[in-house]
Structures are given as structure tokens and as C-alpha cells.
Amino acid sequence: MKKNILIVGGSSGVGLELARHYVNEGHRVCFTGRKDPGLANAQFFKLSITASVDDLSKGISNLTASFQDVHTLVYAAGFLQRGSIETLDDEALTTMTNVGLLAPMMLAARLKPIAPTPLKLLLITSSSQYTPRPQEPAYSATKAGMAMLGASLVRDPGFGKVLVAAPSGIRTPFWEKTEEDTSTMLDPVWTAEQIVALSGGSFKYRYAKLLRHPARVEVVETLDNDFAFID
């Protein structure tokens, strides 16, 4: 079955590689970002997530109106500002929260009621989800929050499969103009291939770490379609 796939954060890196994969598979793809990389046979929607909640709300509403009948939402956007908590200004804190947590929540809220089938979610987080770092307090919190968002939404029958994938650093333009050593980071093509493989098959919820030194996949948790919800 050919599907309508929305990728948020697809201008470069693993989001762009996933867009290429799904286009090559014949799916209808819309991907967002700040700059259009010119991917053929895919729809680009300019979406710049800033500290403005009003702009974010309007942008997401326009996005969901322009690309409809979404079967699968892939959320691959990220924004990192390092520093101890007192050195991070309100704009940095708000932008990280909007990118890392508020935007995927708004998208899920808008897409669930209008999806043609129970909405499938692929949430790409980070090793910061499970490794607290003193210079990444807000970033780590939003990544952990997005993972919990996925684990919670899967308990809503209005959603289909949920994959939470946590890569451990990917060689992308995300790290440009920083002092980060990207030589040992994960290859974005390899990372996209693993995410596609992890999202296939029969399951309801899956959480996996994509690790390096060497590059490998560790499936932390998988829940079957008939797993019972226990409060």
C-alpha cells in the first residue's frame, strides 16, 4: 500500500535520507525544513520552528492543511543549545521546547482526528533521551519527553504503530559551526536504513537505541499489537 508520509525535519541528515527512501518506494512524501534541498518527486513545506508559539501553531495548521490524509508522521527535527541552565536564555529554552516537544504534540493532536487510518508515528530522539548531560539540560529533557510522548500515545487506539528511535550522534549539518568531532558519529544513510527496518513488521510499540563504537542497534522494548494497557 502506498502511503502519505509527512517528515518534519527533512532538509538534511537522517530526515532527508528517509524522504529519499520513501520517495524511491513510491510513497507520497511531504517534508519540512528551513531550506529546500530540491528532492525530486517530494513536496517541500518551509517550516522554521522558533521560540514563537503562535508562529508554530499557524505553521503546523498550514502544513496539515496543505498535505492531507497522512498515514505516517516522521518527526526528525532537532535544535540544541548547550550550557548550564542559568546560561540558557528564554529564547533558547523556548525554542528547544518548541522543536523537541511542543511541535510533535501539536502535530499528533491535529493529525489524529483526520488520519485515514490510525496514525503511525516514527519519533527520532537522541542518546540525550537516556543519558543526562550537564550541558544539555533542556535538550535532554525535551528528548526524554518526546520518547514518553510516543509511549503514551501508543496507548490511544487512535494511533497505530509507534517507533521511538534514539540515535547516538549522526554526521549531519546539525553540527556545522560547532567544535563537535563528528568522525565517529553514525552515518545518516545507515541510520535511515535502520529506522526503516525497525519500523517494519508487526508490533504496536518499539523503542530502540542506535549506538556507535561500533554502529549497532539495540532494541530496548517491543510491545505486540495485543498488549494489555495497565494503569
pLDDT tens for each residue of 142-189: 999 999 999 999 999 999 999 999 999 888 776 766 777 777 889 999
Neighbours of 15 (CB within 10 A): 25
* Torsion angle (degrees, nearest 10) of CA 54, 119, 100, 138: 120
What distances in angstroms separate CA 4 from CA 17, 146, 169, one per listed residue? 16, 22, 28
Phi-psi region of 207 (alpha: psi -120 to 50; beta: other; left: phi over 0): beta
| Structural domains for the chain | 4-223 (3.40.50.720)
pLDDT classification of 48: cutoffs 50, 70, 90: very high
**Cβ atoms of 218 and 211 closer than 8 Å:** yes
